[in-house]
Chains A and B, each alone.
Chain A
Amino acid sequence: MLEQLLIFTRGGLILWTCKEIGNALKGSPIDTLIRSCLLEERSGDVSFNYDAHGAAYTLKWTFHNDLGLVFVAVYQRILHLLYVDDLLSLVKQSFAEIYDPKRMAYDDFDETFRQLRKEAESRAEELRKTKQVGKPLGNVKKQGQVSKSGLEGGNKRISESGGSKKDDGDGNKAKVGNLTNGHSNGNHQMEDDSQTSDLANGKENTTDNVALDLSKLQKLRSKGVRGRGGIRKADSIGNKGSKVTAAEPAKKATKKNRVWDDAAPKQEKLDFTDSVDENGNNDHVDIVAADQGESMMDKEEVFSSDSESEDDDEPGSDEKPEAKKKGWFSSVFQSITGKANLERTDLEPALKALKERLMTKNVAEEIAGKLCESVEASLEGKKLASFTRISSTVQGAMEDALVRILTPRRSIDILRDVHAAKEQRRPYVVVFVGVNGVGKSTNLAKVAYWLLQHNVSVMMAACDTFRSGAVEQLRTHARRLQIPIFEKGYEKDPAVVAKEAIQEATRNGSDVVLVDTAGRMQDNEPLMRALSKLINLNNPDLVLFVGEALVGNDAVDQLSKFNQKLSDLSPTGNRSLIDGILLTKFDTIDDKVGAALSMVYISGAPVMFVGCGQSYTDLKKLNVKSIVKTLLK
């Protein structure tokens, strides 16, 4: 049964709901959908799962971009309703005809809806019957399309989305009527549940199951990082997690031994790994903590807008493909009149060029693709404004999307948080996590330096009890900055060391404890388990993921696995995931700033610091505007 169908404006006013169905929705699935899917540039997804307040809904949606309307259908996930996509597009079609921006009540739509629903239901029923008889899929689908083509009127979304229907691993029987088509995998999903898991996008689910699962991650996030959490069904995470882990050992085993060797620390100015001899009394390290100037965190950044001039000539280049196809005159004419509604085919060349441009900036391919889908969904059917070109419209929409993504969802005012913790007479605990060799300790020292400058008393906790030399390295930083360090040597459980460090900090009144942890590859199960234990035992205020700005596609894998593992391995199931990102080596990447976008998109966490050099002062905030400009350059 359909739980609810809503029609509302992008401004948020509900225009019509199905009163006939009547039963009130549990929780607020619609608001959650908007906040954690549509506004997170995931509207290119096929469906959205909502689990809270004892409800397990699946939501599907479609936009009418020209009229600025959104259509959302909600149904119980266990019922694999086959007609929802169909129904949504029928509703969209009919509602667009009677819609008038001045009109607020559409009671007369009730009757239309009843008919549409009957129509869609019976068609789905037919489809199922014919399929049970055993006809090949392709035929059935075509048949269905022919029968509805009269009404459909150029809406291609139905057929697209039918193929990538998402299953959530609940029971593997009822997938009979999986409308498969096009580029999706034609394989029958009935037998092998582990293969279907739930990839958001049908395009890629044949090959690698291990690859991240955006929708799952996103669900994890939407369950409410703090406070609201806990209601969620922990078991569903659990069994999904086990599925993923089962598929992994093969990949993991190869990279187990002393991985840090290939990411050997280069003699950086701030890296004392080797400069310190084991005997401990490293007198030659000058105690210069004093002052190295203002941390760049506090400096006003003047953004040179040299890219302005390039903006003008560059759209021309990516317009070539479509100009060729359509002929010069008609495209000019269209741009002047600005009448035609944008169609998928119009958008494709521009989007493809844009996706490639993003990828040259080192944005992970998967994410560039998702973003383009989302932009496409928001533009399809819209009227092109007069005197604008498709490419510039697409570019504008993408720019808005990028700004939205990179704008932090919550405040990233750490100093304010530190003060709040101080009021409660407890230290503010930050845990630095990440893979090997990304510069965790170095940047920890930079953060310490920045905090010191704001009269916050800092303590370091050396919880990297795994890699030899790590403690000494941190000790050197501590000495230079003249801040206390808590260490218990090696061979100790890092979780326990951290706990003792926090106790010590409470005793001596330190405001902030910065916890250094061992670098670990995202696939290293035992080490991830140890990290999860550390986090669960100590419940830090901030889990900061330290990542290299150099990474490309691997950014997605790292972050999603860290997030995934941390949440899977957490006993309560409601422990927050990564809260923030520290991007290192930002000075070495020139204009390849894509990692920032990939990481933020995949984790939903903001970039809190950017490490951009060799000295303590080289710590910045992320300048959203300049990043967006660089990405689209």
Chain B
Amino acid sequence: MDNLEDLKILAEQWFHQGVEFFQQIPPTQLYAAIGVLLLTTILLVSIRLFRRTKSNTVLLSGLSGSGKTVLFYQLRDGSTHQGAVTSMEPNEGTFVLHTENIKKGKTKPVHLVDVPGHSRLRSKLEEYLPRAAAIVFVVDALEFLPNCRAASEYLYDILTNTSVVKNKIPVLLCCNKTDKVTAHTKEFIRKQMEKEIEKLRVSRSAVSSADIANDFTLGIEGELFSFLHCYNKVTVAEASGLTGDTDQVQEFIREYVKP
């Protein structure tokens, strides 16, 4: 008890001293000090925000076999080397896109991550999503129909992921393998996937899943689903990782990772 009393007295004394000290300082100086303090905090906060928005991480995701790894090396080296097999681990790299290399401009490198599509490795994606600036969702336009449902489910999980919704991470629906004539068009693929997601929306909203953390529902109640209804921007593009026809993908990347 005594101790407490002592402390109280001590604190009171300090307080008084502090007040006296402030009263001694001329007001202009005081204002200046406060001003400086405010400015630095604003600066610090803005730097943090700045950094956050300026993430340069772009994710390549999509089902296994959609051509992510080929696309990754095409963007990095401008070559597919000797081809690819199913990935067991992500491919990651920070580089200036291959085509930009030639121009010798001062460009900001992109941190590109190719996340394996095998469903057993899905959990890897969640590790990368929080720091992603943009996502390229690669779809196999050749073998599209048999994979439509699985691809839509994967995309649905991405579009309802907390980080994606909160940070409004833009998604590019990249229809790959368009070098072949039998490839489906991007419009067809977009429509089919919208239809499929519409169905998922119905069944998933019924299950508030305990395990799959879909925290958000997609689209607008009572309307057929369209990618336009997403919280984030979803665009569609065509590409071919094999032949190196990746202009639209590069454009997309550069839109969100400014050179």
Confirm or deny: A14 has a beta carbon within 8 angstroms of a beta carbon on chain B.
yes
The one of A11, A297, A299 in contact with B87, judged by C-beta atoms closer than 8 angstroms, is A11
B162-205 residues at the A interface, CB under 8 angstroms: 199-200, 202-204
CB distance from B234 to the nearest CB of A (A): 21
Contact between chains at B211 and A624 (CB < 8 Å): yes
Selected A-B contacts with CB under 8 Å, 16 pairs: A10-B87, A11-B91, A12-B86, A13-B91, A15-B81, A35-B64, A39-B86, A40-B120, A70-B88, A104-B81, A105-B81, A227-B146, A411-B153, A415-B203, A415-B206, A620-B210
Beyond A13-B69, A227-B146, whether A621 also contacts B209 by CB under 8 A is yes
B247 at the interface (CB under 8 A from A): no
The answer to whether B85 touches A419 (Cβ under 8 A) is no
Interface residues of B in 72-109 (CB under 8 A from A): 73, 77, 79, 81-91
Please give the distance in Å from B98's CB to the nearest CB on chain A. Answer: 13
Q: How far is the CA of A455 from the CA of B146 in the complex (A)?
A: 28
Cα–Cα, bound, A30→B73 (Å)? 20
Complex: chain B residue closest to A38, CB-CB = B88
Known: A12-B116, A415-B206. A404 touches B211 (CB 8 A): no
A residues in contact with B83, CB < 8 Å: 14
CB-defined contacts of B204 to chain A, threshold 8 Å:
413, 415-416
Q: Is B123 in the interface zone, CB < 8 Å from A?
A: yes
Shortest Cβ distance from residue A331 to the other chain B in the assembled complex, whole angstroms: 29
In the complex, whether B47 has a CB less than 8 A from a CB of chain A is no
The reply on B1 being an interface residue by CB < 8 A is no
- Name B90's closest neighbour in chain A (CB-CB): A11
Report the minimal beta-carbon distance from A371 to chain B, rounded to whole angstroms.
14
A404 touches B120 (CB 8 A): yes
Determine the chain B residues whose CB is within 8 A of the CB of A418 once the complex forms.
Answer: 203
Residue from A11, A409, A411, A420 whose CB has the most chain B CB atoms within 10 Å: A11
- Residue interface mask B3-14, A partner, CB < 8 A = 1: 000000000000
**B111 located at the interface, meaning its Cβ lies under 8 Å from any Cβ of chain A in the complex:** no
Query: B49 interface residue, CB < 8 Å from A?
Result: no
Contact-size category for A:
35 or more
Measured between alpha carbons, how far is A22 from B122 in the docked complex, in Å? 35
**Are A11 and B69 in contact (CB-based, < 8 A)?**
yes
Contact in complex: B202, A419 (CB < 8 Å): yes
Q: Which residues on the A side are within 8 Å of B90 (C-beta)?
A: 11
Indicate if A300 sits at the interface (CB-CB under 8 A).
Answer: yes
Tell me the complex Cα distance, A300–B210, Å. Answer: 4
Excluding A12-B88, A13-B84, 8 further A-B contacts by CB distance (< 8 Å) are A11-B69, A12-B87, A70-B88, A104-B77, A407-B119, A408-B119, A413-B203, A455-B206
Most chain B CB within a 10 A radius of its CB, from A13, A105, A404: A13
Contact between A404 and B73, CB atoms less than 8 A apart: no
On chain B, the residues within 8 Å of A6 by CB distance are 85
CB contacts (< 8 Å) of A420 on chain B: these are: 199
* Cα distance A110–B183 in the bound complex, in angstroms: 36
Partner of B114 from the list A11, A38, A454 (CB cut-off 8 Å) is A11
Nearest neighbor of B146 in chain A, beta-carbon distance: A227
Q: State whether A298 touches B203 (Cβ < 8 A).
A: no
Contact A14 to B203, CB < 8 A, known contacts A39-B121, A297-B210: no
Q: Is B19 an interface residue (CB 8 A)?
A: no
At the interface, yes or no: A109 with Cβ under 8 Å from chain B?
no
> B residues bordering A, Cβ < 8 Å?
64-65, 69, 73, 77, 79, 81-91, 114, 116, 118-123, 146, 149-150, 153, 199-200, 202-204, 206-211
- CB of B146 within 8 A of CB of A10, answer no
Residue numbers in B under 8 Å from A8 (CB-CB): 84-85
Q: Is A410 an interface residue (CB 8 A)?
A: yes
Report the bound CA distance from A108 to B65 in whole Å: 30
Does A34 sit within 8 A of B, measured CB to CB?
A: yes
B210 to chain A minimum Cβ distance, whole angstroms, is 5
Q: Is the CB of B200 within 8 A of A416?
A: yes
State in angstroms the CA–CA spacing of A6 and B83 once bound together.
11
- A623 engages B64 (CB within 8 Å): no
Determine the distance from Cα of A454 to Cα of B210 in the docked complex, in whole angstroms. Answer: 15
Do B119 and A11 have beta carbons less than 8 Å apart?
no
- Distance, CA A408 to CA B200, complexed state (A): 18
Q: Is the CB of A622 closer than 8 A to any CB of chain B?
A: yes
**For A623, what are the chain B residues with a Cβ–Cβ distance below 8 Å?**
210-211
Of chain B, the residue at the smallest CB distance from A401 is B120
CB <8 Å contact, B86 and A34: yes
Is residue A248 contacting chain B, with contact meaning CB distance below 8 A?
no
Give the shortest distance, in Å, between A609 (CB) and chain B (any CB): 12
Whether a CB of chain B sits under 8 angstroms from the CB of A591 is: no
CB distance from B203 to the nearest CB of A (A): 4
Query: In the complex, which residue of chain B has the Cβ closest to the Cβ of A105?
Result: B81
Q: How far is the CB of A618 from chain B (nearest CB, A)?
A: 14
- Among B120, B122, B209, the one with the most A-chain Cβ atoms within 10 Å of its Cβ is B120
Residues of A within 8 A of B82 (CB): 13-17
Complex CA gap A31/B63 in Å reads 14
Are A34 and B210 interface neighbours, CB within 8 A? no
Contact B210 A299, beta carbon cutoff 8 Å? yes
- Give Cα distance in the complex from A199 to B210, angstroms: 39
